[in-house]
Chain A
């Protein structure tokens, strides 16, 4: 179908301002991604998939300015022993990063993909993104594949002793950044990837994750800090037999965040958990869009999304479980809930199930509510002041999502962030 003029113009206007970078031997993949962008057109206001989130500022040629948040607050995960990979406004910084060697994992930069013969990522870069556009198109991800200036390739071959930590710092008010990472977890291998930092004024990030049979990946990210930053992130994961992928995302601050998660369970007995907790205050729009496809027998998927919203903040959840013919014994669970701390905030949810197998258990639920007055009174009657009681109940509301983090140390870091955020707003 031909694009309408408005969409075509908006897309070409954006593309005119950019050049496909020459990074590693990803040229073919980039060119086909560019063709996909042109065919699909960039997201527009009237697109069904963008019904609840205005894509304008993610699409326009210039990134809207975003002030760099000055704070002496320690960065999340600082207390954790990890291998640090630092990007400053989307550019890898060797001085700030650790040596990229760690037993059980091979880490390269995207630009190195070419320098080695038959690099594993050569044929993988862009493939999960390319396969993700049916039934819904994800043009911002294709845009990323075409224009990503930097990124890493992570191949997990064993069980590395510490998490691999991607840190995105933001120094320029106008930085417009594309990062594309690819990950392969080999059979039986297991690793943890951490991500944090505001990254840029406008950040477009793509993660392609391929987990082989029996592989396990824990993926925890914290998006936050800078109030004016914008981000569109895509996380693509393909899971083999008996593999496990567990992700958790914390989002605080940021005027606009669109997190798309696309997971395909392609091997029997695979497990995918996707969880998110978000705290929004004021000019804050946060969108979790999740698409999980069950295409094998006896797989489990679990989506747990919790949003705390106040002062006019908006939360969006679009979550879908697609059970393909033959994907029997599927166990699918999806819950999206918001805690609205005032009347000005809103939560928009579109939970979907589409099932083509007859022996499955899928459940989904979505709720919006205020603080439970009975619980609040009970706490106050025991002497807990109202603001602290409200915070306790807020943390309790988020707990189901945070509990998805298996590593206690990492969960403590996330809880510390949540408590800090609540405390600062208590004044």
Chain B
């Protein structure tokens, strides 16, 4: 599904190498987790994959189902089925949540040559999905993320994911700023989307989230590289011993 080969990335503005050769393959139907200390390049990886400005790829490749992601505009990557759940969802005053989502869903459908969703159909679908995420009608009407609590913002990210039905989901520290109940709700939302045709890349600091979203593969990232890959037990090891042991072991 997602194939990253020897990806090297530096900041556009300064001569600072962030990713120093990342190799990673996420298969359809699998959940991969990336853990790692602050500054290891986890969030940069998610931004580079989704097409944010400010980064320069100096080497390597990233493909989604064989399509070269790095050549595409952010909206084209989204239409291909790539989705990034933001660590800090952006507040957009003046744009209604519902308008935003409908525009996004239909723009993607249009880009894929599919028929646009009618207002009535859209409303029916979004209401049902919002309900399972405990997102009320008021939140749907309000401007995108404006005045939302941390938990509400993350639930809203998952609602967007559910509506857009991407093939490859990247969750960037979705657990940050969530209390236990909110984490459970968000995780249930993610788990409901797990299926054989969809890949997940879950970026997190803590093992906590992985109790709820059970990964198939866990990677440890440090200093711009994947330094260790293993099963779910690797996350437990991090939880118990911190990163220091693993890092010294691979150094």
Residues on A facing B (Cβ under 8 Å): 372-375, 377-386, 388-389, 392-393, 395-400
| Interface core residue of B74, B101, B107 (most chain A CB under 10 Å) | B74
- Are A382 and B94 closer than 8 Å at their CB atoms? no
The reply to whether A384 and B103 form a contact with Cβ atoms under 8 Å apart is yes
Closest Cβ–Cβ distance, residue A280 to chain B (whole Å): 19
Contact B107 A384 (CB under 8 A): yes
Interface size class of B (residues with CB under 8 A): 20 to 34
Give Cα distance in the complex from A378 to B95, angstroms.
Answer: 12
* Closest beta carbon of chain A to B167's beta carbon, Å: 13
Contact (Cβ within 8 A) A379 B164: no
Asked if B51 is at the interface (CB within 8 A of a chain A CB), the reply is yes
Cross-chain contact A383 with B79 (CB below 8 angstroms): yes
Interface string of B82-103 (1 = CB under 8 A from A): 0010100111111100011101
Cβ–Cβ < 8 Å partners of A373 in chain B: 53
| Contact residues in A for B79 (Cβ distance below 8 Å) | 383
The answer to the question of B174 belonging to the interface, with a C-beta cut-off of 8 Å to chain A, is: no
26 A–B contacts, CB within 8 A, in A order: A374-B90, A375-B92, A377-B51, A377-B53, A377-B90, A378-B89, A379-B92, A381-B51, A381-B75, A381-B77, A382-B100, A382-B104, A382-B160, A383-B75, A383-B107, A383-B111, A383-B164, A384-B100, A384-B107, A385-B73, A385-B107, A388-B103, A388-B107, A396-B92, A398-B94, A399-B93
Bound complex: CA A396 to CA B52 (Å): 22
Q: Inside 8 A of A399's CB, which chain B residues have their CB?
A: 93-94
Cβ–Cβ contact B78 & A383, under 8 A: yes
* Assembled-state Cα–Cα distance A422/B98 (Å): 21
Q: Is the CB of B53 within 8 A of A395?
A: no
Tell me, rounded to whole Å, the shortest Cβ–Cβ distance linking A318 to chain B.
25
In whole angstroms, what is the CA distance A375 to B91 when docked? 7
A377 to B95, CA, bound (A): 14
- Assembled-state Cα–Cα distance A381/B85 (Å): 10
Complex Cα–Cα for A385 and B77 (A): 11
Q: Which of A377, A385, A392 contacts B52 (CB 8 A)?
A: A377
Q: Which of B111, B143, B144 has the most CB of A within 10 A?
A: B144
Point out the residue from A380, A383, A385, A392 that lies within 8 Å of B95, measured CB to CB.
A392
Check if B108 sits within 8 Å of A380, measured CB to CB: no
Distance, CA A393 to CA B91, complexed state (A): 12
Q: Which of B42-75 contact A (CB under 8 A)?
A: 50-53, 73-75
Identify the interface centre among A377, A383, A393, A398: most chain B CB within 10 Å of its CB.
A383
Establish whether residues A380 and B90, one from each chain, have CB atoms under 8 Å apart when the complex forms. no
Cβ contact of A378, chosen from B92, B99, B107, cutoff 8 A:
B92
Q: Given contacts A373-B53, A392-B100, A392-B103, are A381 and B94 in contact (CB under 8 A)?
A: no
* Contact assessment for A386 and B75 in the assembled complex, using a CB-CB cutoff below 8 Å: yes
CB pair B73 A383 closer than 8 Å = no
Q: Which of chain A's residues have a CB closer than 8 A to the CB of B94?
A: 393, 395-400
A383 near B89: Cβ-Cβ < 8 Å:
no
Asked whether B78 lies within 8 Å of A382 as measured between CB atoms, the reply is yes
Q: Select A384's contact among B90, B91, B104, B143, beta carbons within 8 Å.
A: B104
**Which residues of chain A are near B51, meaning CB under 8 Å?**
377, 380-381
Query: Chain B's nearest CB lies how many Å from the CB of A275?
Result: 14
Chain B residues with Cβ below 8 Å from A385 are 73, 75, 107, 111
Q: Do A393 and B50 have beta carbons less than 8 Å apart? A: no
Picked from B78, B91, B103, the residue with its CB within 8 Å of the CB of A381 is B78
A396 lies within 8 A of B93 (CB): yes
Residues of B within 8 A of A386 (CB): 73, 75
Nearest CB on B from A218, distance (A): 22
Seed contacts A372-B92, A385-B107, A396-B95; 17 additional CB < 8 Å A-B pairs: A377-B51, A377-B90, A378-B89, A379-B100, A379-B104, A381-B78, A383-B105, A385-B75, A386-B75, A388-B103, A389-B75, A393-B92, A396-B92, A396-B93, A397-B94, A398-B94, A399-B94
Which chain B positions have C-beta within 8 A of A397? Answer: 94
User: What is the CB-to-nearest-CB distance from B217 to chain A, in angstroms, rounded to a whole number?
Assistant: 25
- A-B residue pairs, 4 tightest by C-beta: A396-B94, A383-B78, A383-B108, A380-B74
CA distance A379 to B100 in the complex (A): 8
Which residues of chain A come closer than 8 Å to B74, judged between CB atoms?
377, 380-381
Closest residue on chain A to residue B160 by CB atoms: A382
